[in-house]
């Protein structure tokens, strides 16, 4: 159990391996159909607890009578795919170097919950698929045994808090970072935004939600409700208000109801480049959403404006409750949005190695926070926000 969250950070963090297979080409089984080698796939074969006696999680209790198992023995398989034998051999060696005899604490978010007792290489076998492409593909399957000690057995993710904004002058200031601008990395993967939103009675229209825009200058992007209570995400090119694209979700939002909202954009300049989601339901131009553009499109300019929650440039605010805000340097897929929505219950974004590689910011808006700081829980960044004109009481227990 949980071995994907253990082995992926180890593999993706081992330079000898990523020189041969980039971290972006390491996948959980069936996470994504691959058409270009080399790549790597990992999967869990079996997981067996050392005992099943009792039901207590107290590690001082008698393990023979009433202690739940705190040690799982799991077999995993790492499969390496390449179009030439030497490459697959070299990559397999690096996989073994990365994992064999590894032990100790595991990366966040499990570092308080589990401990890697040991990872031991067991065996490997070769294979070849002559139906792949023109020349076939070589494969090497390596098997390892992982002993995982469960320090605490229980729910690993609880969402207890959200932020409450008064619409007068409350906002969170995350500062100005290059990564908040779409495609600032130059990776050309896309840009995505995800958050949970609850609007107040009498204040569903014209509310500022998330913005890296000035109110009158420095135009990049923003998400807000219009006068008809419909959500719109707009992006601007060349720091010019006349050069824009937007996707508006056609559903008018009701008050006093939590919604999960997401927008994904592949950086293209047509309606087909955009997708919106409301509570996991896909919305595209002409099917649940409306696209429009104006001016001449090039790209979003990285301005000096800060990233704000519940404000645009600070003269304009939002009266709302906001939770679990995340930004992605990628156009995340419909399946990944489904995982994030999770049937209406927030999940840990760091538990999904399929998508979290390009997670550039995740603000839980209360959980793990100490007023006035809203920490960034994304694994690879630290972009804390600051509650401004707010009090500790704005961290509330009304959460999705």
CB-based contacts of 356, cutoff 8 Å, min separation 6: 349, 350, 378, 379
pLDDT at 153 over 50: no
Q: What is the mean pLDDT of residues 123-143?
A: 88
Question: Which domains, ranges and CATH numbers included, belong to the chain?
Answer: 3-150 (3.30.70), 162-396 (2.60.120.200)
Check if the beta carbon of residue 374 is closer than 8 Å to that of residue 365: yes
Report which DSSP code applies to 376. B
pLDDT for 209-235, tens place per residue?
999 987 667 899 999 999 999 999 999
Cβ 378 vs Cβ 359: under 8 Å: yes
Contact yes or no for 106/9 (Cβ under 8 A): yes
Distance CA 206, CA 224 (A): 7
Distances (CA, A) of 234 to 18, 250, 295, 313, 371: 36, 15, 13, 15, 31
Q: Which of the two residues, 154 and 388, has the higher pLDDT score?
A: 388
pLDDT in tens, 305-329: 999 999 997 678 999 999 999 999 9
pLDDT of residue 320: 96
pLDDT of 112 higher than 50 = no
CA distance 305 to 223: 15
Q: Quick one: pLDDT at residue 353?
A: 46
Residue 171 in contact with residue 317, Cβ under 8 Å? yes
pLDDT tens per residue, range 330-384: 998 888 898 889 889 898 887 654 455 688 999 999 999 999 999 998 867 789 9
Q: Which two tokens stand for residue 147?
A: 């002993």
Which tens digits make up the pLDDT trace of 22-39?
A: 988 888 875 555 667 899
3-state helix vs strand vs coil in the chain, percent to 5: 15, 40, 45
pLDDT of res. 330:
92
3-state secondary structure labels for all residues of 45-108: EEEEECCCCCCECCCCCCCCCCECCCEEEEEEEEEEEECCHHHHHHHHHHHHHHHCCCCEECCC
State the average pLDDT over residues 67-74: 66
Q: How confident is the model at residue 182 (pLDDT cuts 50, 70, 90)?
A: very high
pLDDT tens for each residue of 277-292: 999 999 999 999 999 9
Structure confidence at residue 154 (pLDDT): 38
- What's the mean pLDDT in 240-244? 94
Under 8 Å between Cβ of 141 and 70: no
Q: In this structure, are residues 116 and 104 in contact, taking their beta carbons and an 8 Å threshold?
A: yes
Residues 32 and 352: their CA atoms lie apart, in Å, by 13
Contact 228, 199 (CB under 8 A): no
For the chain, what is the mean pLDDT?
86
d(CA 115, CA 108): 11
Rounded distance, CA 116 to CA 111, Å?
A: 10
Which tokens is 2 given? 């949980």
What's the pLDDT score for residue 6?
Answer: 78
pLDDT tens digit sequence for 135-147: 889 999 999 998 8
Please determine, for residue 386, whether its predicted confidence score (pLDDT) is greater than 90.
yes
Cα–Cα distance between 128 and 82 in angstroms, integer? 10
Average pLDDT over residues 67-92: 84
Q: What is the pLDDT of residue 387?
A: 97
Is the pLDDT at 58 greater than 60? The verdict is no
Quickly list H helices, the chain. Answer: 3-12, 15-18, 85-99, 334-341
């Amino acid at each position: 159990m949980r071995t994907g969250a253990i082995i992926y950070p180890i593999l993706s963090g081992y330079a000898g391996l990523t020189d041969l297979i980039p971290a972006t080409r390491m996948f959980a089984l069936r996470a994504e159909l691959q058409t270009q080698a080399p790549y790597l796939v990992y999967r869990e074969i079996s997981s067996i607890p050392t005992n099943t006696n009792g039901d207590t999680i107290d590690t001082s209790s008698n393990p023979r009578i009433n202690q739940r198992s705190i040690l799982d023995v799991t077999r995993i398989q790492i499969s390496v795919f390449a179009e030439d034998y030497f490459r697959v051999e070299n990559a397999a060696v690096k996989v073994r170097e990365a994992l064999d005899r590894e032990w100790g604490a595991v990366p966040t978010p499990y570092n308080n919950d589990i401990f890697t007792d040991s990872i031991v290489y067991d065996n490997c076998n070769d294979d070849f698929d002559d139906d792949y492409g023109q020349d076939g593909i070589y494969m090497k399957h390596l098997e390892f045994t992982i002993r995982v000690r469960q320090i605490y057995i229980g729910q690993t993710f609880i969402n207890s808090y959200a932020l409450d904004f008064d619409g007068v002058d409350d906002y969170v200031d995350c500062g100005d970072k290059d990564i908040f601008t779409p495609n600032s990395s130059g990776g050309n993967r896309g840009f995505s935004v995800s958050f949970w939103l609850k609007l107040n009675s009498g204040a569903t229209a014209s509310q500022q939600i998330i913005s890296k825009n000035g109110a009158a200058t420095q135009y990049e992007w923003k998400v807000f409700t219009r006068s008809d209570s419909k959500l719109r995400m707009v992006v601007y090119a060349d720091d010019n208000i006349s050069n824009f694209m937007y996707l508006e979700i056609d559903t008018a939002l009701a008050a006093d109801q939590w919604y999960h909202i997401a927008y994904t954009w592949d950086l293209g300049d047509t309606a087909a480049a955009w997708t919106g989601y409301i509570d996991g339901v896909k919305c595209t131009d002409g099917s649940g959403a409306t696209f429009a553009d104006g001016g001449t499109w090039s790209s979003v300019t990285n301005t000096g404006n800060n990233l704000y929650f519940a404000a645009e440039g600070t003269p304009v605010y939002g009266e709302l409750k906001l939770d679990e805000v995340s930004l992605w340097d990628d156009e995340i897929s419909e399946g990944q949005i489904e995982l994030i929505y999770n049937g209406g219950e927030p999940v840990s974004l760091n538990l999904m190695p399929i998508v979290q590689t390009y997670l550039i910011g995740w603000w839980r808006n209360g959980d793990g926070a100490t007023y006035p700081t809203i920490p960034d829980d994304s694994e690879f960044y630290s972009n804390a926000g600051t509650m401004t004109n707010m009090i500790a009481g704005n961290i509330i227990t009304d959460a999705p």
